[in-house]
């Protein structure tokens, strides 16, 4: 159940991440062009020149950024490559040309990822223009004469909506080996997946569409919930300067429909949490960028949107932590990190009805997901059982559990809470002690909610099958409602449909996700809640792509069955089912 926290710009591995073509700079260099000497300062203020490495037979120039998710997923790989080619007359150089990255931020980034080579600041993207570099991370291999022999990606493990278990080709390493051996480079140029370099841009003071009047409100409504400090968005989009720095990427992801992230087919259902960008807002945003990003008058700026300082649910009535801290290893062990389960005995002196709940990871970079189950007294914990329902959870891109007054989840007096956590090591050892906050209803509710799965454990996806179907059903034993739906599969997930088959045999599609995206685990919340008469069957239909054409497929040669780990599979439709509480008591 691994979800890469890539982005909200659609990468990736958060969350669960790009921008328009270069507006300024030289035309792309032909491979073999020479790079003249240049001088820049490193993160410690020291002067570094290309010419000072004249004794090296090759120089690897890497254009880097501090916030780009794909860039940061490759950072440990760059450390490995530096070690691999140590002592082979190779110099690695990092260059940061982003207008939005300060010297302090570049230095902190280099320290965080323990980059063992100089990282230089390229103000006004002068050297990026000389190389015709466009994205981060983008690699160039220069030979002894400082001719460009390779330009492109580091390897193909990470990309937009792509996360392979390992690269299929180590492009940078192969090119470097060939240059050191005096051979022609077999693959001289590859396509780079990453963020566009934030270049200096000529902007207008005023225009028909301005940031102040037209664009800032769009950002506030559709972007800032995630794109602000401390949230899943990898960069902030709070100011005019933020917007200009990331304008290229904004243009790219909005044009492609990658942002804002919303994967439901618009033909089916209406949803309270629909994140899709309305056509008018989309056209306004793109036109503003195309017309030179006019600032407009500061007096026209909308008041800053106010967000909760800490908890999105408001001040919790109670905060509950995992009982112990878990040491997350730096590297993924063979077989993965098994799911961890931690038990907390509640000390409530009465039944508690939960109206709002929020789960928080102690180490968000390595907590793939968390679920917290309610286990009433005398009940054996069985994940997925209606008797041990989910209280709350978190995954990249998902929002806290928020219910209206009169609707709540029950924690019976004397219950245990089981924290289930799935960890995904990212190259740096970390410690995690995740926790939840709960807000209780002021009075027993009219509607009781249970979160439980509709799933199928018994499938075997044949090797090479690109459209394998798995189904699961649930029948309402009494009148009820659906408040939320979340499809869940792993890396071979292709699409997911949820249908209602009513007692009169009428069929209705409630939700269809035509392109399941493993990096976004979203609960789709229908508005209004869906009324499900007694006897209605919920029919979940999922398709899986276990072929070589699925770039995320860990092993197209292997048949796949149910399992917790990412390279295995799951077929679950998670539902928030609601019933009339008084009717349930009768």
Supply the DSSP symbol for 349. S
Supply the DSSP symbol for 34. B
**Ramachandran assignment for 44, one of left (phi > 0), alpha (psi -120 to 50 degrees), beta (any other):** alpha
Quick one: average pLDDT of 503-518? 96
Query: Between 429 and 188, whose confidence is greater?
Result: 188
| pLDDT tens by residue, 363-409 | 988 898 899 999 999 999 988 788 899 999 987 667 788 888 899 99
Domain boundary among 300, 327, 350: 300
Would you say residue 287 lies in a domain? yes
pLDDT class of 27 with cuts at 50, 70, 90: very low
Do 470 and 584 lie in one domain? The reply is: yes
Domain boundary among 394, 426, 445: 445
Do 183 and 49 lie in one domain? The reply is: yes
CB 526 within 8 A of CB 482: yes
Residue 25, pLDDT score: 37
Would you say residue 387 lies in a domain? yes
The residues pairing with 353 across neighbouring beta strands, listed in sequence order, are: 410
Would you say residue 21 lies in a domain? no
Do 48 and 191 lie in one domain? The reply is: yes
Q: Which has the minimum average pLDDT: 55-64, 177-186, 311-320, 362-371?
A: 362-371
Quick one: average pLDDT of 26-43? 76
Quick one: average pLDDT of 512-518? 94
Residue 232, pLDDT score: 79
Residue 4, pLDDT score: 36
Would you say residue 554 lies in a domain? yes
The rounded distance, in Å, linking the Cα atoms of 293 and 204 is: 6
Q: Which residues contact 494 (CB under 8 A, 6 or more apart)?
A: 467, 515, 516, 542, 543, 544, 545, 550
| pLDDT tens by residue, 207-245 | 999 999 999 999 999 999 889 987 878 899 999 999 999
pLDDT class of 1 with cuts at 50, 70, 90: very low
Do 394 and 354 lie in one domain? The reply is: yes
Q: Is the pLDDT of residue 18 over 60?
A: no
Do 419 and 534 lie in one domain? The reply is: no
Query: Between 142 and 563, whose confidence is greater?
Result: 142
Domain hosting residue 163, numbered range: 39-196
Quick one: average pLDDT of 312-339? 90
Which whole-number Å values give the CA distances from 346 to 180, 335, 417, in the listed order? 64, 33, 7
Q: Which of 228, 397, 400, 404 is nearest to 306 (CA)?
A: 228
Residue 94, pLDDT score: 98
Number of domains in the chain: 4
Do 90 and 135 lie in one domain? The reply is: yes
Q: Is the pLDDT of residue 135 over 80?
A: yes
CB atoms closer than 10 angstroms to residue 521: 22
Q: Is the pLDDT of residue 28 over 60?
A: no
CB 497 within 8 A of CB 562: no
Would you say residue 15 lies in a domain? no
CB 473 within 8 A of CB 537: yes
Residue 398, pLDDT score: 72
Would you say residue 239 lies in a domain? yes
Domain boundary among 445, 465, 480: 445
C-alpha angle with apex 351: 578 to 369, nearest 5 degrees?
60
Helix then strand then coil, in percent of the chain rounded to 5, is 15, 30, 55
Do 241 and 323 lie in one domain? The reply is: no
The CATH number covering residue 434 comes to 2.60.120.230
Would you say residue 26 lies in a domain? no
Do 276 and 370 lie in one domain? The reply is: no
Do 461 and 331 lie in one domain? The reply is: no
pLDDT class of 2 with cuts at 50, 70, 90: very low
């Amino acid at each position: 159940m691994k979800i890469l926290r890539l982005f909200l710009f659609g990468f990736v591995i958060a969350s669960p991440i790009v921008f328009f073509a270069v507006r300024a700079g030289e035309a792309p260099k032909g491979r073999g062009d020479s790079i003249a000497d240049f001088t820049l300062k490193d993160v410690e203020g020291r002067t570094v020149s290309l010419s000072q490495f004249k004794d090296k037979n090759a120089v690897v120039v890497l254009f880097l950024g501090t916030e780009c998710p794909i860039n940061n997923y490759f950072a440990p790989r760059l450390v490995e490559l530096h070690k691999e080619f140590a002592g082979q007359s190779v110099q690695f150089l990092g260059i940061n040309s982003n207008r939005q990255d300060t010297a302090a931020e570049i230095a902190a980034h280099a320290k965080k990822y323990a980059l063992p080579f100089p990282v230089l600041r390229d103000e006004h993207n002068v050297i990026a223009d000389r190389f015709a570099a466009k994205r981060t991370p983008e690699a160039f291999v220069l030979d002894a004469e400082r001719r460009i022999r390779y330009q492109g990606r580091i390897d193909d493990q990470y990309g937009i909506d792509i996360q392979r278990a390992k690269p299929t080709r180590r492009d940078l390493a192969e090119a470097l080996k060939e240059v050191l051996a005096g051979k022609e480079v077999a693959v001289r140029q590859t396509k780079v997946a990453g963020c566009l370099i934030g270049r200096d841009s000529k902007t207008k003071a005023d225009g028909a569409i301005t940031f102040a009047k037209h664009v800032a409100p769009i950002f506030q409504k559709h972007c800032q919930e995630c794109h602000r400090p401390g949230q899943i968005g990898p960069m902030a989009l709070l100011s005019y300067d933020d917007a200009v720095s990331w304008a290229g990427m904004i243009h790219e992801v909005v044009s492609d429909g990658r942002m804002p992230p919303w994967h439901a087919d618009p033909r089916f259902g209406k949803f309270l949490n629909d994140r899709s960008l309305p056509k008018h807002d989309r056209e306004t945003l793109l036109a503003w960028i195309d017309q030179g990003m006019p600032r407009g008058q500061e007096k026209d700026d909308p008041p800053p949107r106010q967000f909760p300082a800490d908890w999105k649910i408001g001040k919790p009535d109670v905060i509950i932590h995992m009982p112990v801290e878990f040491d997350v290893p730096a590297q993924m062990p063979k077989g993965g990190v098994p799911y961890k389960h931690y038990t907390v005995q509640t000390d409530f002196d009465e039944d508690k009805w939960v109206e709002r709940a929020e789960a928080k990871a102690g180490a968000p970079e390595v907590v793939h997901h968390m679920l917290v189950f309610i286990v009433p007294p005398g009940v054996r914990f069985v994940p997925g059982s209606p008797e041990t329902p989910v209280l709350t959870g978190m995954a990249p891109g998902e929002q806290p559990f928020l219910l209206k007054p009169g609707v709540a989840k029950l924690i019976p007096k004397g219950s245990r809470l089981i924290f289930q956590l799935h960890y995904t090591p990212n190259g740096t050892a970390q410690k995690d002690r995740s926790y939840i906050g709960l807000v209780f209803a002021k009075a027993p509710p009219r509607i009781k909610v249970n979160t439980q799965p509709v799933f199928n454990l018994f499938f075997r996806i044949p090797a090479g099958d690109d459209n394998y179907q798995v189904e699961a059903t649930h029948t309402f034993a009494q009148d009820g409602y659906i408040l939320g739906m979340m499809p869940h599969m792993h890396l071979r997930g292709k699409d997911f449909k949820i249908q209602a088959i009513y007692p009169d045999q009428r069929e209705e599609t409630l939700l269809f996700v035509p392109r399941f995206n493993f990096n976004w685990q979203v609960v789709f919340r229908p508005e209004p809640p869906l009324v499900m008469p007694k006897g209605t069957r919920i029919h979940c239909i999922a398709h899986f792509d276990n072929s070589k054409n699925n770039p995320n497929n860990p092993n197209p040669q292997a048949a796949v069955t149910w399992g917790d780990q990412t390279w295995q599979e799951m077929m679950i439709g998670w539902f928030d089912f609601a019933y009339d509480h008084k009717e349930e008591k009768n």
